[in-house]
Amino acid sequence: MKNSRLRIITFLTIVSLLALTLTSGCLETPEATPAKVSSEALSEYGWVQGGDVVYESQEEEISGTVIKVNTAMVMYQDEQLGQDILAELRNLQNQYGVQADVQIPTVGSQLITLRVVLPGGIALPSSATASLIDSQIDTLASQNNIENFKKVGTKEITVKDGSTVTANTYSGTIAFNGDMDGASIDVMAIIAPWSSSSTNIFAIGVVPDGDINLKIGPIEQTLITIDGDTEIEGVLELIKTIE
């Protein structure tokens, strides 16, 4: 996922929805701390943090109102799944004596946590939350070539602070190009928003679901079959530990 664009869209959406509701002047915005998954859960499910926490602070003045939004973003990835995919690729190449430099698309499971802190520590209104979710879905689809990306249901999650969160679930299909032109894989996604300690948290998970088919020269074979339901349940367990 291209996180920079996601952060820009998040900021612009917040600004447009809050500009008319804040009083004139500049309200102080607390710093954003990362919404982190517990290290115990990461170890249990074979996930790791991918890179450093990304902190951003953006502000915009609209009609005399300075709106400053602080965010902290963390990305996690299923390391075990990535290792399994690479191991199957090596086995396939060794089996057929093919050492082609095949680039496997980024289809591993990912989880992004985003903490958004608004002026005065106010919580996002429901209309702003809904608009942010819509913008995140559009961005996920366009940046990851996900086709037919649609909402398919909801799940109730009890998060670390004891509150019950309604998460939206989605499904779609990624069409591959290059070495895997013509191939595709289904994906599942989940977005869970909630408020905690005067901040706003978004957890966004995307997982592959089904067969990854690979073609190397005359060889065409299923590289690995991924159980998306199992992957998404793992993501849910990680989300439950976020604080």
Per-residue pLDDT of the chain (243 residues; tens, 9 = 90+): 445 555 544 555 555 555 544 554 556 888 999 999 999 999 999 899 988 999 998 876 656 667 788 899 999 998 888 778 778 777 877 777 766 555 554 567 889 999 988 877 777 777 677 777 777 777 777 777 788 889 999 999 999 999 999 999 999 988 765 555 556 788 999 999 998 888 899 999 999 898 877 766 677 778 788 888 998 999 999 999 998
pLDDT for the residue numbered 175: 72
Q: Contact 140/55 with Cβ under 8 angstroms?
A: no
How many other C-beta atoms lie within 10 A of the C-beta of residue 128?
A: 20
End-to-end C-alpha distance for the chain, whole angstroms: 23
How many other C-beta atoms lie within 10 A of the C-beta of residue 82?
A: 17
Phi and psi based region of residue 94 (left: phi greater than 0; alpha: psi -120 to 50; beta: remaining)? alpha
Q: Contact 116/133 with Cβ under 8 angstroms?
A: no
Per-residue pLDDT reduced to its tens digit, 41-56: 999 998 999 889 999 9
Predicted TM-score of the model (pTM): 0.80
